[in-house]
Structure 1
Amino acid sequence: MEQRKIIHIDMDAFYASVEQRDHPEYRGRPLAVGRPEGRGVVAAASYEARRYGIRSAMPSVTARRLCPELIFIPGRMEVYREVSRQIHRIFREYTDLVEPIAFDEAFLDVTRNKKGIPLAVDVARAVKRQIRDELGLVASAGVSYNKFLAKIASDYRKPDGLCTIHPDRAAAFIARLPIEAFWGIGRVTARKMHEMGIHDGAALRECPPDFLTERFGKAGRLYYEFAHGIDLRPVEASRVRKSVGCETTFPYDLTSFDAMTDELYKLAAKLNGRLDRAGFRGNTLTLKIKFADFRLQTRSLSPGYELFASAEIFPLATALLRDAGIEGHPVRLLGLSVGNPTHPVQHELYRQLSLDL
């Protein structure tokens, strides 16, 4: 079987970089895309701002406290959408097997590429150079034989990174990888693994699949495969997305309505960012609640208009929580998702970028 050549391209600080490209006066200065007033949140932060600890989905008031000279500018989704189209046109000069993940990242299968370039790292280098020369933007690229390792590699030397994980070196690379760096392992799962003595890929690799499945459900099997360098998922050039969501498992159970609404506010901001990056709009909001006794409850509503901004999502989520009868029931997880898309969001040729945002 022919070994695949997969590239993961991730634009560096995409929204903020577009603004610094288009506004030379912002270059080299800490910049955030978002609203500074009220309960605004940071949609994106330049690398200069990140040095102060500023991150996406952070409340704007917190960001301003960390960096008083931080520049806030409103987002221009129509501009980011068009730039993303331009980036994806460059991708398709090399391969039609492009799987968009968001406005600013995608997987490319270049096993058989249009340019006839034998080495995937040379394809990645050419793509990065073309994006810089034609669009004035910087991308990081990860190259490997599957999506998991290509994704890890693209994060490894940011910004302007290019990292290749060769099949012969994958096992050693994974063994040294901190457990937090594995795709799909968040803060709470990582803490649980640490309590079990699993701190890196080498320790994870020692765990039998049944052991991991028993403790982490279906994800346990995925962790086992990743630890052994296995990821058979293809790069899908056509995919229909039915919903976009996010959730958080808390390190301790929440018992007060105020604490839960604080977390819902953070989730709404995070969901807002994911909807923006995916170019997704839907009519139905769903709240997911997992109680301390592991009972699961979901509640949904369709307000009759498109949902895509945290200012619309948060009050609706609060209303759903209020109607869920949570009094006296500690909560260990909350999740929010937007579904029932107003248009089928099909990733083929990055069609979701034609949606109005």
Structure 2
Amino acid sequence: MWRGMIVTAVALVSLVGGGTVAWRHYEGAVDQVDLLGEAARDRPPPRQITIESAPRWSPPPASAQPGRNILLVGIDARPGEDQAGARADSIIVLHVSAGGDRAWLVSLPRDTRVEIPGHGTDKLNAAFAAGSQGGGGRAGGFALLATTVRQLTGLAFDAGAIIDFAGLRRVVDAVGGVDLCVDVRTVSVHIGWDEQGRQTAPFRLIPPTFRPERIPGVRPQVYEVGCRHFAGWEALDYVRQRELLPDGDYGRQRHQQQLLTALGRRVTSAGVLGNPLALDRTLTAVGESLTFDGNGRSVTDWMFQLRGLRPDAVTMLRTNGGQFNAATRNGTAFEQLDPVTLDLFAAACSDSLDAFARKHPDWVIQPS
């Protein structure tokens, strides 16, 4: 999703030969606002804290961190939550090498226990909701989340972007769908059909843990193991699932990263690049689906900075090795970043993720 939405869109415009002039037709549709706040590279770092999930190392100052870091946030906003209340559903760090020809994607567990500045200890995804309250909107939500992530990982950010999941569906549909290989049987808790063939939710999510409870008489959408073509609604539904996966949110993170690489392949395929109508639909959908902060650089500037980055040069990495590292505090279950994950972020700070991946090959997620 993100690689296709930003990095591949960057490559697209360079490849089609229109350059800056071509993209400027679409750039105006991108909502460009100040998102990064204290997490921006040129801002002083936020105060450091001492809790279980905080780094136990001293990251280099932002000016000494080679490469570039982009924070990508997906929100699954319901009606009325566009300006306040939505939690960050997907939190991904994209680290681009100093040379600009390699990149790594790292998904942060949204249930990671963190201290949110000014709001106490909570799950990481709660930072977006907290910042969006009181008139903060999406920009305030992102800024507080980004500051929390910088505090957690030591990484300063050069750009940031938000997309809601409806925007992801539009982009997938614009490119004619994507090909994905389902690695584990995945049952949807969101989409199903009743006995009259009407679409309805097949499960109730029971608070406070949101345990899924099957609704009698409703047949859920099921994604069986194997390779197939996904329409936009299927891709969106597939990457939202976590409740019934054996590895829960880690499985969802893996599927989201696999989708973004598949989307990147599709966007740069001849079927899109060689079809002016498909290309126009894709660039229009990308432009209309993003809220972006280039930290003083325009979308066009970023496009040309990343023009040498191709989909096959992006490596996907797990946190916590894709295994649960949970702890319960005051009746609430949290994830905690393990020591190797802290090493991963230290490697990102020093632009040495290639060495980390060679040392921990089982932390690399294979493309779908």
- The structure whose RCO (Cα within 8 Å, separation 6+) is larger is 2
Q: TM over 0.5: same fold?
A: no
TM-score (norm 2): 0.25
The TM-score normalised by the length of structure 1 is: 0.25
Find the structure with the greater CA-based Rg. 1
